[in-house]
């Protein structure tokens, strides 16, 4: 192997979390930052492609509600220094079909859970019955057994544009970003880490691993985190009802019923977007396919026919992505004990917090600590250390 270079701050993976970490590290350390991406930037092999992700103050768990204000602030900061619009506030509905969920364990992911957490964190919201939802948004057709939680600051983060913005800003601060550069191993060596590439060994002062479905591959020999990788999908519909489903007239929504769905107004594409929350086939980064599941497509079509008939239209396309999920569905944001290696895992729902998590990763890499509450996401929590937790559960 060639002689290692001088120590640098290295980020492995330049998707949503890695691009953010690269940017925030570059603000602190400039040209000492190197980001390594296995594929081309903006690739469709992971979890960070596409136009839209939900951002929300509305959470059903305190750990995320505590981070939400800082997440919004981080995105606004990036918008301020880049001149790019990354967040579009549309308002957001959580709709629960109470009858369909009777007897199901929700883990607090229900209207009561959202309301209780919002109260504890000072988040304004409205509770609506089915008829009130239909009066305000007649696009919905409800049975009358539904309840809803509305929060006006919910909206959309443009994932692809956000990644590109983080990358551009990082380069502006002197960061080097290499495409087609898979990391073969990480080797702690005294006060640094050797990052092994195909043709080079890089001497790193600290490494941030944001490799998603390839996390354990990159960490091989250091640790193994219990992670389940699933192949999920979303569909864009070329609705003819563009005005009715424009961001000014229709909110982002999440539907909790027998099946759980989430949807977006027209954004990015001239089309609406719907996905089913989790439940995809278990895969690996190498065994995944890019073929949509026709059963999930039909399930979505049936949901739309019953509850949002104007939302659909000819299918523009369906695209797949990967979720990398710990058993408790919480993120991983921590530094491996006794090493200079930090780990970020987004659990399939991190993009709303991507810029903030990147900033936290930069804190951990440069100071060893952060002011943000991340104890829930530690590597030594029972879900990651106690085998009795088993596999990831889906709510």
- pLDDT tens readout for residues 74-133: 999 999 999 999 999 999 999 999 887 766 656 678 999 999 999 999 999 999 999 999
Contact 170, 177 (CB under 8 A): yes
Mean pLDDT across 219-239: 97
Q: What is the mean pLDDT of residues 13-38?
A: 96
- pLDDT of 124 reads 98
CA 256 from centre of chain: 19
Residue 7: pLDDT band (50, 70, 90) is: low
The pLDDT tens digits of the residues spanning 140-161 come to 999 999 999 999 999 999 999 9
| Residue 62 banded pLDDT, cuts 50, 70, 90 | very high
Higher pLDDT, 377 or 3: 377
DSSP string computed for 160-212: HHHHHHHHHHHHHTT-EEESS----EEEEETTEEEEE-SS-EEEEEEEEE--G
Output the pTM of the full model: 0.96
Average pLDDT, the chain: 94
DSSP string for residues in 257-270: SSSEEEEE-S-SSS
pLDDT, tens digit (0-9, with 9 covering 90-100), for 292-326: 999 999 999 999 999 999 999 999 999 999 999 99
pLDDT value, residue 130: 97
Phi-psi region of 83 (alpha: psi -120 to 50; beta: other; left: phi over 0): left
| Burial of 193: CB neighbours in 10 Å, binned 0-12, 13-18, 19+ | buried
Q: So what's the pLDDT on residue 4?
A: 45
Q: How far apart are CA 250 and CA 88, in angstroms?
A: 12
CA atoms within 13 A on the CB side of 180: 0
Question: For residue 237, what pLDDT is reported?
Answer: 98
CA distance 183 to 196: 6
pLDDT of residue 307: 98
**End-to-end C-alpha distance for the chain, whole angstroms:** 47
Site of tokens 């080097």:
176
Q: What pLDDT does residue 101 have?
A: 74
Confidence of residue 5 (pLDDT cuts 50, 70, 90): low
% the chain with pLDDT above 70: 95
CA–CA dist 289, 323 (Å, integer): 13
What number of CA atoms fall less than 13 Å from residue 223's CA on the CB side?
A: 19
**pLDDT at site 100:** 74
Tell me: pLDDT of 49 over 70: yes
> Quick one: pLDDT at residue 3?
46
pLDDT greater at residue 294 or residue 49: 294
Query: What mean pLDDT is predicted for residues 47-61?
Result: 94
pLDDT of amino acid 190:
83
Q: On the CB side of 216, how many CA atoms lie within 13 Å of its CA?
A: 13
């Amino acid at each position: 192997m060639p002689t290692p270079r001088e120590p640098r701050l290295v980020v492995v993976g330049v998707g949503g979390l890695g691009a953010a970490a690269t940017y925030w590290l570059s603000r602190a350390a400039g040209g000492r930052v190197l980001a390594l991406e296995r594929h081309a930037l903006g690739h469709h092999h992971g979890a960070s492609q596409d136009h839209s992700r939900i951002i929300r103050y509305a959470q059903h768990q305190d750990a995320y509600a505590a981070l939400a204000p800082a997440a919004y602030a981080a995105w606004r900061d990036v918008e301020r220094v880049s001149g790019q619009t990354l967040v579009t506030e549309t308002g957001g509905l959580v709709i629960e079909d109470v009858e369909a969920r009777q007897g199901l364990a929700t883990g607090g992911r229900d209207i009561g859970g959202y309301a209780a957490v919002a109260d504890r964190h000072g988040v304004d919201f409205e509770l609506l019955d089915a008829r009130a939802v239909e009066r305000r948004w007649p696009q919905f057709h409800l049975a009358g057994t539904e309840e809803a939680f509305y929060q006006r600051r919910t909206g959309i983060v443009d994932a692809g544009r956000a990644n590109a913005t983080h990358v551009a800003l990082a380069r502006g601060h002197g960061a080097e970003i290499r495409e087609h550069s898979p990391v073969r191993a990480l080797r702690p060596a005294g006060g640094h880490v050797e990052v092994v590439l195909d043709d080079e060994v890089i001497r790193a002062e600290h490494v941030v691993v944001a490799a998603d479905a390839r996390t354990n591959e990159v960490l091989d020999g250091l640790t193994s985190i219990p992670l389940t990788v699933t192949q999920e999908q979303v569909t864009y519909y070329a609705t003819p009802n563009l005005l009715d489903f424009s961001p000014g007239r229709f909110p982002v929504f999440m539907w909790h019923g027998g099946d759980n769905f989430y949807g977006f107004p027209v954004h990015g594409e001239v089309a609406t977007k719907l996905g089913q929350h989790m439940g995809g086939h278990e895969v690996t980064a190498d065994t995944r396919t890019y073929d949509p599941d026709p059963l999930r497509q039909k399930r979505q079509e049936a949901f739309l026919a019953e509850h949002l008939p104007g939302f659909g239209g000819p299918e523009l396309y369906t695209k797949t992505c990967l979720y990398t999920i710990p058993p408790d569905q919480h993120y991983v944001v921590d530094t491996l004990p006794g090493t200079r290696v930090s780990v970020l895992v987004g659990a399939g729902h991190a993009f709303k917090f991507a810029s903030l998590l990147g900033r936290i990763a930069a804190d951990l890499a440069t100071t060893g600590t952060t002011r943000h509450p991340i104890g829930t996401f530690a590597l030594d929590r029972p879900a990651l250390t106690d085998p009795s937790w088993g596999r990831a559960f889906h709510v």
